[in-house]
Structures are given as C-alpha cells and as structure tokens.
C-alpha cells in the first residue's frame, strides 16, 4: 500500500493496538499503525515480563466469556511462537470477607469454572511460603497463570507486518481531522489518510480525543522482582502459584512465582499516585519498596530478599475501573479502546479480535454494554 494511506490507522501499538493490527491485517485489511515510541517499550502499561491471567473474574461476570476467548487465542498463538506466550500453573485469591473472593465465586458459579475453597491452614500446608492470617480463606483456580508481555507484543507486530501492516515507530500524532469521506492524521513526521481509526493509546488517549468525555486518570504503579531469602525452589511454578491478596486495610497486592529465573514478582494493585503521562517518575523509590517489603514481611516473609529489578508502569483508570471499548459517540468509523484500569493485558487477543470485527462491521460475540462510553454521560 502507499505509505501514507490505509484502510485503518491504529494510533498506539501497545497491547490492544498491536493485537488489532494483527487481527485486521490477517483479514486483508490495509493497516497503518503509529506509535510515539517503539513497542514493546517501558513508557506505558505493557511491559514487565509477565502479567496474570485468570478466569474466575472478580471484576465482573461479563468479563469471563471474553477472557475465555483470550485463553483460546493465547494458546493458539503459543503453537506458532518460539517464545513463551502463556503458561498455566494456577492462582489463588486470598482474603477475609471482602468482595474480592465473593465476586470471584459468582463468576465461577455462573460459568462453571472449577475452583476450590481453602482455609488458612490448608493454604499454608499446600504452599509453604505463604502466611495468611487465621481468618483468611482462599479461592484456588488451576487455570490461572502468566502471559508474557513483550513476547506477545513482538509477536503481534511482527506477524501483522508479515500480513502487510505498516508500522510507524517513534512518530507522534499531533492532530487529526475528519474530511468529507476520510480522515487526515498529522504526525511530527508525515501526513496520513485513512477510512477508519482505532485509538488504542492508553494513557495518552484522552489528549488525542479531547472532544469526547473520556474520564480517565493515570495511576503510577511499580512492579518488583526479588530474590527469596531461602528455599528458592519453593517459589518456582512447580511449587507456587499466582496470589492475589485482599487485605483487611483495603490494600490489594499480587504476586507471581519465579518464571524464567527473573525473580519473585510482587506489586500493589491500585492505590498508586495519580499523575500525567508526561510527569511519570520512572524510577522506583524507597517508599515504593517499603510498601512491598511491609506486605511481604507479614504474608510471604521468605520472599523478602534482595531486590533484583523494578519497573514503573501506568494504569489508565476509568471511574468504575471497567474497560472502554466503544465507537466514537458521533462516528461509527472511529473506535476508542484500551483504558483498561490495570487489569486488561490478559484480554489482549480477544480485544484485538473484537476491534477487528467492529471495524469490519461484523457481529460481536460478547455483550460490550458495560464498556460503553454512554455510561459516563
């Protein structure tokens, strides 16, 4: 295709943008993707080795069919990838009487997802390094695991290029406008024309579409990898699973076992500092690490060893922490996608497939009403 024209321009080539490029180009659609950086990069939400994938979804039952489709697509991709894309080794929600566990049970019951309820002493007996309080219980699902962030984005971008997509990296969109029967997108390097647009630019999406009410906040989050103090083998995927902790003080933490010898991963979920993408402090600090060490000291003390690595990323949070996947309110040729409130990466291939179908005006197999922009009107 001509270098400045396309059927669809995708603005933002992180998780959702790269997946949309893949599924569109696979169907023969001429795609031009634009990103301010060169994905996978460390400036947005889609980096940091692995993310959790889970099925008994406590954020809402409407997510379950979409994540089940993601499992199918991740495993399909894994068959063709020489790198790790998905691993399934189990996961457990741990807490007392909060909605975290009860809402996960609702999803499990509605979709007949196999789960197992464990008492505190049963958790300790089965996973020797965990130390939940006596009044905590656990909800175990065997299908939980990890998806590999950078590997997945590289796969989507490389394969979509094989299918004919053109990607413009290190190029910033300055403005865009609707013409009579097309759109003009102006960057700091060129001008492009297209019939349709997908905005999947994460933390930058609000600035790119100021005429639409997209009430998102950008939340700073820090990921840590530590070297366990002892019994390192007990932190491997053979002996440990993902954990999600709903603490009595309202804080949430999650962990992943040692994968590819990267160290034991732990992070706080939400309760981060709200910032703008431009003033994000990309270095972890003593307070960030102190919060993590205080959590570990009480609940997983043997993990509280030397710091191996840290990464700063962002959540693009909506007020209700649900996704946005919708058409522009006044234009069915524009899709607004990807404010995922810190729990979106596991859905990447399914959302890419959904955006591909929306652009091609095909029937969507899922109810997307909860992800509509109209809820903010």
Which residues participate in catalysis according to the annotation?
47, 50-51, 265, 269, 313, 346
Residue 163 structure tokens: 């299918």
Q: Which is it for strands 5-11 and 191-199: parallel, antiparallel or unpaired? A: parallel
Q: What is the CA radius of gyration of the chain?
A: 21
Helices marked H in the chain — which ranges? 15-26, 64-78, 99-110, 120-126, 149-162, 205-208, 286-299, 348-359
Q: What is the per-residue DSSP string for 329-363?
A: TTEEEEEEE---TT--GGGHHHHHHHHHHHHTTPP
Cβ atoms of 318 and 55 within 8 Å: the answer is no
Q: What is the per-residue DSSP string for 157-175?
A: HHHHHHTT-EEE-S--EEE
Q: What is the three-class DSSP state of 100?
A: helix
Cβ atoms of 160 and 297 within 8 Å: the answer is no
C-alpha to C-alpha distance for 220 and 273, rounded to whole angstroms: 5
> Could you give the angle at the alpha carbon of 231 between the alpha carbons of 226 and 235, nearest 5°?
55
C-alpha to C-alpha distance for 8 and 24, rounded to whole angstroms: 9
Cβ atoms of 201 and 276 within 8 Å: the answer is no
C-alpha to C-alpha distance for 237 and 263, rounded to whole angstroms: 11
Residue 162 structure tokens: 């094989």
Label residue 82 exposed, middle or buried (CB < 10 Å: 0-12, 13-18, 19+): exposed
């Amino acid at each position: 295709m001509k270098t400045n024209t396309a059927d669809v321009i995708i603005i933002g080539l992180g998780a959702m943008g790269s997946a949309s490029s893949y599924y569109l180009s696979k169907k023969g659609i001429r795609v031009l993707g634009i990103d301010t950086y060169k994905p996978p990069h460390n400036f947005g939400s889609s980096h940091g080795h692995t993310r959790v994938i889970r099925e008994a979804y406590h954020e809402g039952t409407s997510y379950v069919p979409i994540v089940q489709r993601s499992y199918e697509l991740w495993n399909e991709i894994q068959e063709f990838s020489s790198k790790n894309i998905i691993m399934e080794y189990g996961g457990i929600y741990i807490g007392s009487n909060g909605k975290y566990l009860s809402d996960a049970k609702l999803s499990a019951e509605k979709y007949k997802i196999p789960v197992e309820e464990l008492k505190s002493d049963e958790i300790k007996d089965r996973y020797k390094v965990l130390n939940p309080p006596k009044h905590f219980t656990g909800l175990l699902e065997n299908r939980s695991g990890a998806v590999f962030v950078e590997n997945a984005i590289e796969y989507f971008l490389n394969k979509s290029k094989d299918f004919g997509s053109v990607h413009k990296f290190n190029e910033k969109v300055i403005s865009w406008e609707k013409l009579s029967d097309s759109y003009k997108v102006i960057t700091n390097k060129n001008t492009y024309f297209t019939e349709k647009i997908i905005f999947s630019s994460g933390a930058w999406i609000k600035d790119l579409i100021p005429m639409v009410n997209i009430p998102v906040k950008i939340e700073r989050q820090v990921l840590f990898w530590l070297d366990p103090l002892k019994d390192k083998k007990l932190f491997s995927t053979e002996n440990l699973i993902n954990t999600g902790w709903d603490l009595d003080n309202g804080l949430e933490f999650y962990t992943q076992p040692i994968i590819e010898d990267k160290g034991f991963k732990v992070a706080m979920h939400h309760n981060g500092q709200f910032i703008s993408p431009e003033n994000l402090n990309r270095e972890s600090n003593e307070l960030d690490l102190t919060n993590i060490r205080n959590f570990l000291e009480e609940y997983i003390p043997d993990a509280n060893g030397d710091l191996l690595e840290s990464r700063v990323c962002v959540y693009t949070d909506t007020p209700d922490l649900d996704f946005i996947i919708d058409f522009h309110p006044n234009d069915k040729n524009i899709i607004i996608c990807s404010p995922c409130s810190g729990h979106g990466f596991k859905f990447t291939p399914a959302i890419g497939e959904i955006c591909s179908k929306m652009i091609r005006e095909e029937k969507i197999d899922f109810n997307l009403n909860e992800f509509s922009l109209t809820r903010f009107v």
